[in-house]
Amino acid sequence: MIVTCGEALVDLIPERTGDEVLYRPVLGGSHYTVALGIARLGGASGYLWELSRDELGRRFLATLRGAGVDCGAVRIGERATPVAVVDDSGPEARYNIADPDRVMHDTALPPLPAGTRCLSIGSAVLAHEPVGSRIEALARTAPLITIDYNARPPSITDAAEYRARLRRLAALSGVVKASVTDIEVIGEGEAEAYMQQLVQAGASMAVLTAAQNGATAYTRHGSAHVASQCSRLVDTVGAGDSFMAALLFRLQRDGALSRERLGGYDSGALADLMTFAQTASAYTCARTGAAMPTHADLDGAPLCY
Q: What is the pLDDT of residues 90-131, one digit of tens each?
A: 766 777 899 999 999 999 999 999 999 999 999 999 999 999
* Statement: residue 206 has pLDDT above 90: yes
* Statement: residue 305 has pLDDT above 60: no
Fold of the CATH domain 2-298: UDP-N-acetylmuramoyl-L-alanine:D-glutamate ligase (3.40.1190)
Q: Domain-by-domain residue ranges, the chain?
A: 2-298
First to last CA, the chain: 30
pLDDT band at 302 (very low <50, low <70, confident <90, very high): very low
What's the whole-number mean pLDDT along residues 146-175?
Answer: 95
Q: What is the pLDDT of residues 54-81, one digit of tens each?
A: 999 999 999 999 999 999 999 999 999 9
CA distance 158 to 145: 23
What local confidence, expressed as pLDDT, does residue 87 receive?
83
Q: Are 195 and 208 in contact (CB under 8 A)?
A: yes
Q: Are 273 and 217 in contact (CB under 8 A)?
A: yes
* Statement: residue 160 has pLDDT above 60: yes
What local confidence, expressed as pLDDT, does residue 257 receive?
98
